Structure 1
Amino acid sequence: MLGNFSYVNPTKLYFGKDALSFLPGELARYGKHVALVYGGGSIKRNGIYDQVMNILKKAGKEVTEISGVMSNPTADKLKEGVQIARKANVDFILAVGGGSCCDYAKALSVSVHYDGDPWDKHFLKMEEPDCEIVPVGCVLTMVGTGSEMNAGSVITNHEQKLKIGHVFGEEVMPRFSILNPEFTMTVPQYQMISGIYDMFNHICEQYFSGDDDNSSDYLAEGLMRSVIHSSRIAVKDPKNYEARSNLMWDATWALNTLIGKGKTQDWMVHMLGQAAGAITNAAHGMTLAAVSLPYYRHILPYGLPKFRRFAVNVWNVQTEGKTDEEIAREGLSAMESWMKELGLVMNLTDLGATEEMIPDIVKATIILNGGYKTLTTEEVEEILKESL
């Protein structure tokens, strides 16, 4: 393990079919005024809303609802929520939904008591909160982002054509998250497979960096094999509890910072995908699927040993009579076959992107260091064109 680091994760998890039964005990720790954050209403159709509301009422909470949180939460929606939360003088924010609701709740938590523009402060200037932070809890209904156990929040500004993520400090992480795999079983297939690729790519972003013998990479390989195995079962049998529970647990550990410790990290697929999402408003996991293979094939020569290891340890590629590059490329081909097997969207064109949009996507792409190669603007454009 290279470098020096500290590790703490203050989020308490309740996992399993009875996880929601622990919500009353957690609610007792917080104030009377609760902001209930949720999306388009699916939790009302599947009964989760009624279950949560009954618990809140029995706990004596005054509930203010902030509904309509979209799959790519916007800066305008954040401002709207701030005004609602301030008027209700909320003491606690409970997000019930997928990663977008959790992301939104965290952005809201650092914005309620901030007098300025939260988009400008936290997402453009990347400044840390310097005001009171409203505590957050999550009841997860869709898996993929890992937002239930990290401090990340991604917000989109359509006017500025930007989609930006901010990883806050541990004080912004959810105080608790409730993970019942059965709650994820009503999610449409498209959203399920989008979430599966999101979690898989989170692991890849941390894995494809560095060349030392790092314990974190062994953990990452195990998680990737688990995602591959369980995803194949879940796609064929979405009600399979074991597969769905494994995927829920995989998603959490894919991005709760553990497997990134002691490593540099490469988040360029997310930068490319988020930029495409800012322009097209497509599902996050699908934008990642569309850009990832062109990106990985582009950087493969610069990180050949790790891509070879990925092929052998994750995809069981046989090595006899092959060069290292042949082995590595066969690994990416195996990954591509799995992605198609799941039914992922494999290009930006099918997500609504056109060649005329490429300049805007390039402009919205933040170029990061940490990977095997730092891209030039010209390379970003080339990769995006290959993704069409």
Structure 2
Amino acid sequence: MLGDFTYCNPTRLHFGKNAMSALTEELAKYGQTVQLIYGGGSIKRNGIYDQVIAALEAAGKTVVEDAGVMPNPTADKLREGVKIARERNVDFLLAVGGGSCADYAKAVSVSMNCDDDPWEKYFARFEEPTCEIIPVGVVLTMAGTGSEMNGGSVITNHEQNLKIGHVFSTDVAPKFAIMNPEFTYSLPKYQMVAGIFDIMNHITEQYFSGTDDNTSDYIMEGLMRGLVKASRAAVANPEDYEARSNIMWTAAWALNTFVGCGKAQDWEVHMLGQAVSAVTDATHGMTLAAVALPYYRYIMDAGLPKFARFAQNVWGIDAAGKADEQLAAAGLDAMEAWMREIGCVMNLAELGCDESMLETLADATFVMEGGYRKLTREEIIAIFRESL
């Protein structure tokens, strides 16, 4: 490993079928008034809401509800959440849901005591918090983003056609996460698969960078092999506890910064996919799936040894008689076959995009420098066109 790094992760995880039993004890460590953050109401239909309310009542908390967090939380919704937090002088933010709720909660946490507009300060200017941060906890109901164990927050501004992520310091990371794999059973298959590909892409964004012999790469190869196996089992039987638990655990380790240690990291697939989400409001994981293969096939020659290694160590492709170019291409073909097998979206047309939108998508795409190629605007448009 050649890179210098500091690693710290302060999030306490409670994992398994009995994870909820720890919630009341965790809540007791924090202040009186809790802003309960959730999405469209599915947690009321599946019974998770009742369990959370019971834990809050047992801890003697005053509950302020903040519902309606959308899959791609917006700047307007963020301002609404900050207003709620200020008016009720909340002490703690409890996000019950997937990554969108956790991202939103973290954005509120750094904004409640800050006078600046949160979008402008954190997502346009990328400034760091200069005010008191309100602590956050998470009850996870969807595996994918890893937001339950990191300081990241992604917010969408539809007026500006921008979707921007800000990775804050560990001070903003959730203080704890309740992770019961059974809570993910009720997810529709489309959302489950979107989460699975989000996990895979979190890993590949970090894996396809650097040329040194890096321990992180070996860890990531194991995580990817395990994810492929678990995804197939979960698609066949959504209530396969072992599969869903492995998916949930892999999601946390894919993006809690651990496997990125010592890595340059790419993240261009996320920049392309987030541009699509900003313009179409499409599901995050599926936007990544639609653009990933065209991007990786475009940059493959620049990182050929790593793509050849990916084919062998993740997909088990025999290298005998194959040049690196053939091996690398076979690895991406294997990933494509797996994506089709589990039900990923494979092109942007399925998400409502067409040729007339390419310039707008390019305008919304940030260019990253950590991967094997730094894209030009013309290359970004070409990749979007190939993704149609």
Task: Specify the alignment match of 2:135 in structure 1.
Answer: 135
Task: Specify the alignment match of 2:174 in structure 1.
Answer: 174
| C-alpha separation in 2, matches of 1:335 and 1:3 | 28
* Conserved? CA contact 2:25–2:59, under 8 Å: no
Task: Specify the alignment match of 2:272 in structure 1.
Answer: 272
Task: Specify the alignment match of 2:227 in structure 1.
Answer: 227
Q: CA deviation at 1:3?
A: 2.1
Task: Specify the alignment match of 1:294 in structure 2.
Answer: 294
* Conserved? CA contact 2:38–2:68, under 8 Å: yes
Q: Alignment partner of 1:131: what SS? A: coil
Q: Alignment partner of 2:132: what SS? A: coil
TM-score, normalised with respect to structure 2: 1.00
| C-alpha separation in 2, matches of 1:242 and 1:321 | 38
Task: Specify the alignment match of 1:249 in structure 2.
Answer: 249
Partner AA of 1:370 in structure 2? G
> Cα deviation per residue 1:339-375 (whole Å; 9 max; x = unaligned)?
0000110001101111111111100000010100111
Task: Specify the alignment match of 2:197 in structure 1.
Answer: 197
| C-alpha separation in 1, matches of 2:10 and 2:323 | 45
Q: CA deviation at 1:9?
A: 0.1
Task: Specify the alignment match of 1:13 in structure 2.
Answer: 13
Q: Does 1:304 align with 2:293?
A: no
Partner AA of 1:11 in structure 2? T
Q: Alignment partner of 1:115: what SS? A: coil
Q: Does 1:57 align with 2:57?
A: yes
Task: Specify the alignment match of 1:263 in structure 2.
Answer: 263
Task: Specify the alignment match of 2:68 in structure 1.
Answer: 68
| C-alpha separation in 2, matches of 1:27 and 1:232 | 36
> Cα deviation per residue 1:142-189 (whole Å; 9 max; x = unaligned)?
000000000000000000100000000010000000000000001110
| C-alpha separation in 1, matches of 2:247 and 2:340 | 18
Partner AA of 2:139 in structure 1? V
* Conserved? CA contact 2:274–2:287, under 8 Å: yes
Q: How does 1:55-204 map to 2 (within 5 A)?
A: 55-204=55-204
**Deviation >4 Å, runs of 4+:** none
| C-alpha separation in 2, matches of 1:187 and 1:385 | 31
Structure 1, gaps ≥5 residues long: none
Q: Alignment partner of 1:39: what SS? A: coil
Task: Specify the alignment match of 1:44 in structure 2.
Answer: 44
Q: CA deviation at 1:322?
A: 1.3
* Conserved? CA contact 2:311–2:331, under 8 Å: yes
Structure 2, gaps ≥5 residues long: none
- What CA RMSD, in Å, does the superposition of the two structures yield over aligned residues? 0.5
Q: Alignment partner of 2:285: what SS? A: helix
TM-score, normalised with respect to structure 1: 1.00
| C-alpha separation in 2, matches of 1:219 and 1:42 | 35
Partner AA of 1:130 in structure 2? T
Q: CA deviation at 1:90?
A: 0.2
Q: CA deviation at 1:54?
A: 1.1
Q: CA deviation at 1:377?
A: 0.6
- Count of aligned positions: 388
Q: Alignment partner of 1:57: what SS? A: helix
Task: Specify the alignment match of 2:341 in structure 1.
Answer: 341
| C-alpha separation in 1, matches of 2:258 and 2:58 | 36
Q: Does 1:320 align with 2:323?
A: no
| C-alpha separation in 1, matches of 2:217 and 2:92 | 37
| C-alpha separation in 1, matches of 2:3 and 2:209 | 14
| C-alpha separation in 2, matches of 1:358 and 1:67 | 34
| C-alpha separation in 2, matches of 1:283 and 1:186 | 17
| C-alpha separation in 1, matches of 2:116 and 2:371 | 35
| C-alpha separation in 2, matches of 1:266 and 1:47 | 39
Q: Does 1:240 align with 2:214?
A: no
In percent, how many aligned pairs have the same letter? 65
